[in-house]
Amino acid sequence: MRIGELFVMNGLITEEQLEQALKQQVHTRKKLGEILIDKGLITERQLVEVLEFQLGFPVVNMYETALDMNTVQLIPEALARKHCVIPIERKNGKIKVAMVDPLNYDAIEEIRMATNMSVQPVIAIRSEVEQAITRNYGLKESVEELMVDLDKLEIKDEEQEANDQGSPIVKLVNQIIQSAVQQKASDIHVDPQEKQLIVKYRIDGVLRTEKALPKHMQGVLTARLKIISKLNIAERRLPQDGRIQMQVDNRRIDIRVSTLPTVHGESIVLRILDQSAGIKKIAELGLSEANLVKFDKMIQRPNGIILITGPTGSGKTSTLYSALGQLNGDDVKIITVEDPVEYRMAGVTQVQVNSQIGLTFASGLRSILRQDPNIVMVGEVRDAETAEIAVRASLTGHLVFSTIHTNSAVSTISRLVDMGIDSYLIASSVSCIVAQRLVRRVCRECAQQVPAREDELQLLETHGLAGAGAGESWLAQTGTGGSFVRPPSVKPGEGTILLTRGKGCGTCNKTGYRGRLAVHEVLVVDEPLRRLIVQNRPVNELEQHLAQHGFRNMLHDGLLKVRGGHTTVEEVLKAVSDE
């Protein structure tokens, strides 16, 4: 029986979903299991369980398997990463190897030639093998060995040491960045303390300490980061911004670097941008069915301002790029002015802000309007001048996209008024405001259903989401939005609502969460709302009007995704206040 038929037979996917995945396989040449995982229809664990049944190879749990370093070193790191394999045992001239694809005969033959042993494949989850490779291989030496070398190192010239490609500090910096990329960290924080230097990773929005380094390494590590970021090493009193471009595991990675002088030395934050991940389609942003329809309709308009709002790190730029990607074509001219240009888009004219020479958002926007664009994207509305030019641009027939920092979609209107923009201009120019936050996604490998607590029930009931079938509109909206744990609305015979939680496993580092998704509110400025804006009505009156006309805020959208089995009430309340 073919593997797709096994998935259908076990009730993991439908015949229709299998047919869609097989069509996609023809174009992408990817394995069927990988496509189904990417679409959120099955989990990695479900895949290996079906492979075990179909092929007869045993499955191993990498987090319960002790690895011997001498055995691990039998397979070179490059070979292990190339085929996503790791050796777990050798005995009587045989080597047992954990593999994602036990039928990869090229990998088996290369391992046999490298080790001069016969290969015994076993099946393991891809994410577990990748993390095992990260934990057990260094660049050439482990961080611990590098630390020993650095402790012995007598640094006489920090700049010379940071430039020496054979220096332990160069290897350590590479190791820190590579490990962060492999763990899917969004940021690396190098925080100087009084007696040590702390390296932290932000993974799924949560900071965690990765390494504590000796204080004497601070100067040379800072120098190395500044050199590869093309910053001024001698300047330690002023903040600086730079950029690093490098290849990690055959992926192009862009890193934005920011330095800030503190009482204990320079604090450095590296924002990791994975260019190989590409720009998502709008249907992949996690918008609910109703919000997706509204947003898609608004970006098709020929003019007006569309604002994306939220705090730093809430995915605003990703939403902007997704919208521009959908509109990008031969029949339109799109010009952006950004600080910095995060992703390169073919066919789009992108301008980098440079305030040192007077190229600001306002001056850049003023200039690009003379370039005959159809669509304009301004990285951020930071001041009244930029806001005013954006308004004028929209009124003269341009579609303008931008971001702004406010707490909600409605409060964006009062923010523009505070900037000095006349209310009648706001009403006639702003067509749509999208507010969003990122919440952690329940780990698919350890997801389980538990009865909702009393406080969770009350919150769901308040928002009309306690009934049978709640959350279905979110589940059904796109091919990528399907739930990995089908959330039964009510437990049969008991009337108890079941919600999805992560138990905690090795894949999610015992947190119960892996990855993130966005919660949104999409505010369309229609004629009744325009009249209220022109009358300078306060925010609470605008909110009352919207509530009476079916507007759903971020909290409601988040709870819809809780019912859909994708996140938890705690995550939603942490991101969105329950007023």
Q: What is the pLDDT of residues 394-432, one digit of tens each?
A: 988 899 999 998 889 999 999 999 998 999 999 999 999
- DSSP-derived secondary structure letter, 117: S
Encoded tokens for 570: 């705690």
- What's the rounded Cα separation, in Å, for the pair 250 and 114? 22
Helices (H) and strands (E) in the chain, counts: 24, 18
- Of 245, 401, 390, nearest to 325 by C-alpha is 401
Determine the pLDDT at residue 492: 42
Determine the pLDDT at residue 140: 40
Phi and psi angles of residue 289, each rounded to the nearest 5 degrees, phi first: -60, -45
- Of 256, 292, 135, 267, nearest to 193 by C-alpha is 267
Q: What does the pLDDT look like over 131-161, one tens digit per residue?
A: 788 777 754 444 555 566 655 555 555 566 5
pLDDT average, residue stretch 278-300: 88
Q: Are 136 and 85 in contact (CB under 8 A)?
A: no
Q: pLDDT band at 193, cuts 50/70/90? A: very high
> Does the global pTM surpass 0.85?
no
Integer Rg of the chain from CA:
26
Cα-Cα-Cα-Cα torsion 578, 480, 40, 488, nearest 10 degrees, comes to 60
Of 229-233, 237-241, 395-399, 469-473, which gets the smallest average pLDDT? 469-473
Phi and psi angles of residue 374, each rounded to the nearest 5 degrees, phi first: -90, -40
Distances (CA, A) of 514 to 130, 375, 464, 567: 15, 36, 28, 10
Place of tokens 């398997």: 65
Q: What does the pLDDT look like over 110-123, one tens digit per residue?
A: 999 988 999 999 99
Determine the pLDDT at residue 4: 81
Q: Which residues pair with 336 in a beta bridge?
A: 350, 377
- What's the rounded Cα separation, in Å, for the pair 40 and 42? 6
Identify which has the larger pLDDT, 135 or 62: 62
Please check the confidence at residue 226 and state whether its pLDDT lies above 90. Answer: yes
Determine the pLDDT at residue 149: 61
Encoded tokens for 230: 């093309």
- What's the rounded Cα separation, in Å, for the pair 432 and 401? 10
Residues 6+ apart with CB under 8 A from 306: 298, 299, 323, 399, 400, 401, 402, 431, 432, 433, 434
Q: pLDDT band at 211, cuts 50/70/90? A: confident
- DSSP-derived secondary structure letter, 496: B
Share of the chain above pLDDT 90, in %: 32
